[in-house]
């Protein structure tokens, strides 16, 4: 049996919605990270939070993964047409 990690929190107003903070120990135990998509489901007696997929990449992470040889070049290398001609 895996030891459970618990934290009691209070639901707070957050913008025009409600929010609950996930403490660092709970986030580590659940392997959650910033930007991680989650799915909320209403179940009998409460709410279930499930990991929804891989974390969203930051701009810095996207730029680091950018390879000009793979992603570079013109999308349409046909030259200027119409109003683009001058």
CATH number of the domain that 16 lies in? 2.10.260.10
Q: How many structural domains comprise the chain?
A: 1
Per the structure block, which two tokens stand in for 26? Answer: 């709970």
Per the structure block, which two tokens stand in for 54? Answer: 């891989």
Give which of 49, 19, 42 is closest to 10, Cα–Cα.
19
Q: Enter the pTM of the model.
A: 0.55
* Separation between Cα atoms, residue 28 and residue 19, nearest integer Å: 19
Mean pLDDT, consecutive 10-residue segments, the chain of 86 residues? 78 94 91 88 93 83 83 67 68
| 38 within 8 A of 47, measured Cβ to Cβ | no
For residue 86, what pLDDT is reported?
61
For residue 44, what pLDDT is reported?
96
With respect to residue 82, please indicate whether it lies within any of the assigned structural domains.
no
**Host domain of residue 19:** 12-73
């Amino acid at each position: 049996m895996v030891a459970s990690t618990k934290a009691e929190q209070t639901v707070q107003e957050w913008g025009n919605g409600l929010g609950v903070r996930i403490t660092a120990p709970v986030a580590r135990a659940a392997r959650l990270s910033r930007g991680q998509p989650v799915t909320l489901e209403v179940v009998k007696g409460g709410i279930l939070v499930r990991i929804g997929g891989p974390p969203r990449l930051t701009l810095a992470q996207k730029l680091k993964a950018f390879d000009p040889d793979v992603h570079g070049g013109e999308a349409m290398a046909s030259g200027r047409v119409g109003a683009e001609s001058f």
